């Protein structure tokens, strides 16, 4: 982006500049409100800005993730406040953003882009634009289909992660290592795709998008049980992670109250710095509310904001562990795999390690007799 700055990329606050563009792409946040319902305020605000500057012949594309129907029901009427007619005076289409932060194999260029316009001509024009930048463009019949594509993709992930989270809790009780089960199941070359358990889902997409679909489904009188249950299961994993910390401390005759817990990994995903909706936020809050002191460390993250305060990452992992009664891994950064449990546990007050992301494979566990090792999807000896 730096290389293009002020050459082909001109960021500006001046909305008058919109009049000079051929294409106007809206990619503003689509969060939830406190009732977990879609908050389209940013989309509406961006549409009003465009509407006030819209010119004949311009083309508007919404990319923000949202429920099917938004482009025609919300965006179009605001744009037509300009007195210009969609599909006649200006073009309109929807194309979901597909970005996988940290993924080096699939970039914007080689990730196929789905487009759907309000009519056939609009679909073709939007496809032409993206086709000049992106290797594969997938045209669909209308904006609703394109919006539904994004919902399907993210709900698919949420539901499958919930399924494997539920199974991991069952397998823990049955003393079956879920990680080994998944590794072996993934050897099936057809009909199976591995998903992994963990302390809950994070990021601004997977935990939020299913609620956009739920909201719309309810407008049609349908309670989306599958979608909502998966959200509940994934949220419960944070409680389970805290329970494992409590169990671990109990095993060394300590309580949460008065203990020091090192939280390792704050980002919602491996090898990136993004903490939006990260499970670490609620887990830190819960641990602090139960009376423990929390130290945090993430090689990518400087600080994390929670309802119980702002936590600054320790200078290094050793500082985080020194004096801790328990440590909990929440993100599977490659960096964490470089350490042996022996090395880590020697720094701690008591060697209690909770592993929520299979940082430590079963076959590389420590031989330390006194080590208390518990994990999500692991064979936990309570």
Ligand X SMILES: NC(=O)c1ccc[n+]([C@@H]2O[C@H](COP(=O)([O-])OP(=O)(O)OC[C@H]3O[C@@H](n4cnc5c(N)ncnc54)[C@H](O)[C@@H]3O)[C@@H](O)[C@H]2O)c1
| C-beta atoms surrounding 215 within 10 Å | 16
Question: Considering the complex, what minimum distance in angstroms separates the CB of residue 232 from ligand X?
Answer: 21
Identity of the residue, 211 or 297, whose beta carbon is nearer to ligand X in the bound complex? 211
| List of residues contacting ligand X (CB under 6 A) | 27-30, 42, 45-46, 49, 64-65, 97, 99, 101, 204-205
77 near 51, Cβ under 8 Å? no
Q: Which two tokens stand for residue 62?
A: 């919404």
| C-beta atoms surrounding 119 within 10 Å | 16
Identity of the residue, 29 or 57, whose beta carbon is nearer to ligand X in the bound complex? 29
CA distance 342 to 332: 18
CA distance 201 to 114: 25
Identity of the residue, 127 or 205, whose beta carbon is nearer to ligand X in the bound complex? 205
Identity of the residue, 45 or 170, whose beta carbon is nearer to ligand X in the bound complex? 45
Options 205, 247, 326, 356, the catalytic residue: 205
Identity of the residue, 24 or 317, whose beta carbon is nearer to ligand X in the bound complex? 24
Identity of the residue, 94 or 297, whose beta carbon is nearer to ligand X in the bound complex? 94
Question: Considering the complex, what minimum distance in angstroms separates the CB of residue 361 from ligand X?
Answer: 29
The single-letter DSSP state of residue 81 is G
Question: Considering the complex, what minimum distance in angstroms separates the CB of residue 100 from ligand X?
Answer: 7
Identity of the residue, 63 or 314, whose beta carbon is nearer to ligand X in the bound complex? 63
Identity of the residue, 73 or 120, whose beta carbon is nearer to ligand X in the bound complex? 73
CA distance 227 to 182: 23
**In Å, how far are 100, 137, 261 from 239, measured between CA atoms?**
27, 42, 15
63 near 95, Cβ under 8 Å? yes
> Alpha-carbon torsion 133, 134, 139, 143, what sign?
negative
Residue count of the chain, please give it.
382
Q: DSSP letters of 10-48? A: ---S-GGGGGG-SEEEE-----B-TTS-B--HHHHHHHH
Question: Considering the complex, what minimum distance in angstroms separates the CB of residue 288 from ligand X?
Answer: 27
Q: DSSP letters of 287-326? A: HHHTT-EEEEE-TT-SEEEETTEEEEBPSSHHHHHTT-SE
**Three-state DSSP state, 174:** coil
Question: Considering the complex, what minimum distance in angstroms separates the CB of residue 223 from ligand X?
Answer: 24
Question: Considering the complex, what minimum distance in angstroms separates the CB of residue 29 from ligand X?
Answer: 4
Question: Considering the complex, what minimum distance in angstroms separates the CB of residue 154 from ligand X?
Answer: 8
Q: Which two tokens stand for residue 138?
A: 């997938």
CA distance 293 to 295: 7
Alpha-carbon dihedral angle through residues 150, 189, 111, 116, given to the nearest 10 degrees: -40
| CA 178-181-182 angle, 5° bins | 85
Residue 205 a catalytic site member:
yes
Question: Considering the complex, what minimum distance in angstroms separates the CB of residue 330 from ligand X?
Answer: 20
Catalytic residues: 205
């Amino acid at each position: 982006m730096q290389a293009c700055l002020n050459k082909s990329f001109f960021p500006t606050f001046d909305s008058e500049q919109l009049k000079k563009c051929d294409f106007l792409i809206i990619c503003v946040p689509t969060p939830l409100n406190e009732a977990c319902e879609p908050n389209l305020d940013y989309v509406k605000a961006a549409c009003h800005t465009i509407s006030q500057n819209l010119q004949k012949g311009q083309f508007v594309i919404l990319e923000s993730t949202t429920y099917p129907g938004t482009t025609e029901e919300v965006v179009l009427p605001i744009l037509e406040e300009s007195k210009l007619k969609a599909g006649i005076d200006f073009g309109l289409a929807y194309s979901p953003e597909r970005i996988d932060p940290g993924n080096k194999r699939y970039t914007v260029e080689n990730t196929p882009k789905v487009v759907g316009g309000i009519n056939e001509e609009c679909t073709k024009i939007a496809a032409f634009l993206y086709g000049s930048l992106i290797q594969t463009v997938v045209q669909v019949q209308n904006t609703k289909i394109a919006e539904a594509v994004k919902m399907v993709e993210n709900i698919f992930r949420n539901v499958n992660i919930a399924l494997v989270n539920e199974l991991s809790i069952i397998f823990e009780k049955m003393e079956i290592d879920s990680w080994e089960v998944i590794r072996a199941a993934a050897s099936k070359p057809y009909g199976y795709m591995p998903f992994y358990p963990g302390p809950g889902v994070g990021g601004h997409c997977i935990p939020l998008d299913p609620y956009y679909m739920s909201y719309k489904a309810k407008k049609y009188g349908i309670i989306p049980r599958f979608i909502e249950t998966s959200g509940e299961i994934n949220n419960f994993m944070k409680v389970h992670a805290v329970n494992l910390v409590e169990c671990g401390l109990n095993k060394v005759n300590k309580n949460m109250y008065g203990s020091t817990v090192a939280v390792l990994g704050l980002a919602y995903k491996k090898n990136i710095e993004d903490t939006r909706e990260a499970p670490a936020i609620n887990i830190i809050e819960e641990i602090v509310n139960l009376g423990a002191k929390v130290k945090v460390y993430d090689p990518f993250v400087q600080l994390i904001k929670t309802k119980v305060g702002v936590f600054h990452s320790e200078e290094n992992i050793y500082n985080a562990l020194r004096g801790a009664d328990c440590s909990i891994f929440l993100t599977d950064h490659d960096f964490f795999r470089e350490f042996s449990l022996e090395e880590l546990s020697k720094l701690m007050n008591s060697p209690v390690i909770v592993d929520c992301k299979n940082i430590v494979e079963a076959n590389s566990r420590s031989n330390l007799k006194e080590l208390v090792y518990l994990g999500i999807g692991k064979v936990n000896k309570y």
